[in-house]
Amino acid sequence: MLIFLDTEFTRLTYPDLISLGMVTEDGREFYCERNDFHAKDCSPFVQETVLPLLGRVPGAPCSRMDLTHRVREWLTQFPEPPTFVFDSHHDWHLLAVAMLGRPKKDPPGAFGKQLSVDSSVFAHPAFEAAAYAAYTAELPIHHALADARALKAGYRAWSDLTGVTHA
């Protein structure tokens, strides 16, 4: 099972998770946003672009501990470890932190596989067009759930066109 993952976080150096979105290849979705991060720790970009997008998904706000519980619970539905598709190493690291409930370099071995999408994929015209079309006025770019949906749409369009599939 492919799970398309995106996160939003406070800043590039010493990032702290703000929100986490996941979308499976068959359309199941997960989204949470923390209500206990410190806005003062956010970069100017995050303050201006990401924070105004919070609060758009009912039931999403939660504490760090509750987010850990929700992520763990949601992932129990998959009988086999999934393959997480993401476009930034920060996404994988912050998912591991969310899953484990504390900072740690990598998630447990049986947690899942990694499939990092690089610029050769997300700069492809088919990827770009499909990803862009996935955004809405209510959930635009830089919202973790919207970005996970866009990653899924873009990856599928690219994969369908090129015939390349995940390992």
Q: Please give the pLDDT value at position 106.
A: 54
pLDDT tens, N- to C-terminus, the chain (167 residues): 999 999 999 999 999 999 999 999 999 999 999 999 999 999 999 999 999 999 999 999 999 999 999 999 999 999 899 999 999 999 999 998 998 876 655 555 567 888 999 888 989 999 999 999 999 999 999 999 999 999 999 999 999 999 887 64
d(CA 60, CA 22): 13
**Residue 31 belongs to a domain:** yes
d(CA 165, CA 167): 7
**Residue 67 belongs to a domain:** yes
SS3 category, 113: strand
| pTM metric for this prediction | 0.93
Q: How many structural domains does the chain have?
A: 1
Q: What are phi and psi of 22, to 5 degrees?
A: -140, 140
Q: Please give the pLDDT value at position 33.
A: 98
Contacts of 22 (CB under 8 A, 6+ apart): 3, 4, 5, 6, 29, 30, 31, 74, 84, 148
Q: Please give the pLDDT value at position 167.
A: 45
**Residue 17 belongs to a domain:** yes
Which residues span the domain enclosing 15? 2-116
CATH number at residue 32: 3.30.420.10
Q: Please give the pLDDT value at position 61.
A: 99
Residue 17, strand partner residues: 9
**Residue 129 belongs to a domain:** no
| Alpha-carbon distances of 134 from 69, 71, 141, 149, 150, rounded to whole Å | 29, 24, 9, 7, 5
